[in-house]
A and B are shown apart, each in its own frame.
Chain A
């Protein structure tokens, strides 16, 4: 084999290996007793880890959503047919990256959230928060060439739930991303800085690693804020490799 062949082979195996599991503490244990709904829904058996040689030779590619599947209006949650949503208008933007820091373009990002009163436009949400006829609470966007998405929405309210006495979810926006491949599929929640409800939220606090938890909190960005219009927040979403461990770094130990 030539040096080039060796290097190519190394990159190929390196790319595979870089889909290695997330560092410990990044994701919550599925059995997280403080979040009561996990009790009957977490598998009791440990997941089966396949011998890498027995895993799929090709990483499953994500679905392709064409430009026709997503319109510009889908990224603006504040405008309804007959009026505008009530609440503090916000711009939420960020990049979809892999853990090697590479942007993932043309990838679908879906969001859903409660309205400014903390009520979802959902049949099963029946707490006495106020409904807003001009807020459906769902949006979608495709990332651009730099992996960037951008939504215009309103800041959601906190809402109560039955998990424990006086339980309130901190304000949050649900995010669903596809990335490029099966391994990169991720659903998560974005929070707002300095929310006083963090301390009692078992969903956010189910994540063991504090630094990982902090990555779910958006950053206020005055450069994204638009005068006379809306407050700006940045929230990057980072999914697993490939490319988490570039070959060069390995060579340097």
Chain B
């Protein structure tokens, strides 16, 4: 049996810095599901800082319970876009069904560790109303986790790192 001291210590996180595009901005990674194919949706948004200015050196990743993964670096206007499909509703450990959502990580210059949030969908109002994670959030901030739009027009999920209407982030 290994002693506790044999276990390796965790590697600390560091910022992606301003030049993350060199390795992490892979155009094909924006597409988890081919645009136009059955069930495909587009989700886009803007990452902004505490002044409301765009974050042009960020990376947004979307992970889903069905194994789909996409990522996109932000452009000069802080905008990102991914093509995916809505994930199925997944249960919590106590068996409650959650509303469909993307698990979202945001990396950026000036972020020493990623921040993690969830992207729910405005057109899933009934499911959102009984979602346990949304219910755990004070009502006036809940909307920051809900993307507006529709499968036809595309969804919009803006991420405000700080300030008025700051996006809710989760401790995972």
**Chain A residues within 8 Å of B, Cβ to Cβ:** 16, 19, 21-23, 26-30, 32, 35, 37-58, 60-64, 97, 99-101, 110-112, 120-122, 124-125, 136-140, 174, 176, 182-183, 185-189, 203-204, 206-207, 211-213, 215-216, 236-240, 244, 246, 248-249, 252
Contacts and interface: CB of A to CB of B under 8 A. Distances in A.
B92 to A, nearest CB: 5
Contacts of A21: 171
Given A40-B162, A60-B64, A189-B14, A101 B8 contact: yes
B92 A44 contact: no
Nearest to B9: A215
Interface string B133-147: 100110001000000
Given A44-B163, A53-B94, A60-B63, A111 B14 contact: no
B35 interface: no
Nearest to A65: B69
Chain B, interface SS category: loop
Given A41-B50, A56-B92, A112-B22, A187 B16 contact: yes
Contact of A62 (B18, B69, B115, B132): B69
**Chain B interface residue bracket vs A:** 35 or more
Interface stretch (B38-46, B103-111, B122-130, B148-156): B103-111
B10 A41 contact: no
Contacts of B64: 60
Contact of B161 (A32, A41, A189): A41
A162 to B, nearest CB: 11
A55 to B, nearest CB: 6
B7 A244 contact: yes
B34 interface: no
Interface in B152-171: 161-163, 166-171
Contact of A122 (B6, B21, B107, B114): B21
Contact of A56 (B13, B17, B65, B171): B65
A37 B171 contact: no
Given A41-B161, A188-B14, 19 more contacts: A40-B51, A40-B110, A43-B169, A44-B163, A46-B171, A47-B169, A47-B170, A56-B92, A58-B65, A60-B63, A101-B7, A111-B23, A112-B19, A174-B23, A187-B107, A189-B15, A203-B112, A215-B9, A244-B7
Given A22-B10, A203-B15, A49 B170 contact: yes
Top-4 shortest CB links A-B: A37-B110, A63-B69, A41-B110, A40-B50
A188 B110 contact: no
Interface in B35-86: 49-51, 53, 55, 57, 61, 63-65, 67, 69
Nearest to A214: B9
Nearest to A49: B171
B10 A101 contact: no
- Among B90, B112, B167, find the residue whose CB has the most chain A CB atoms closer than 10 A: B112
A11 B123 CA distance: 39
Nearest to B90: A56
Contacts of A183: 172
B111 A42 contact: yes
Contacts of A176: 16, 23-24
Contacts of A28: 12-14, 112-113
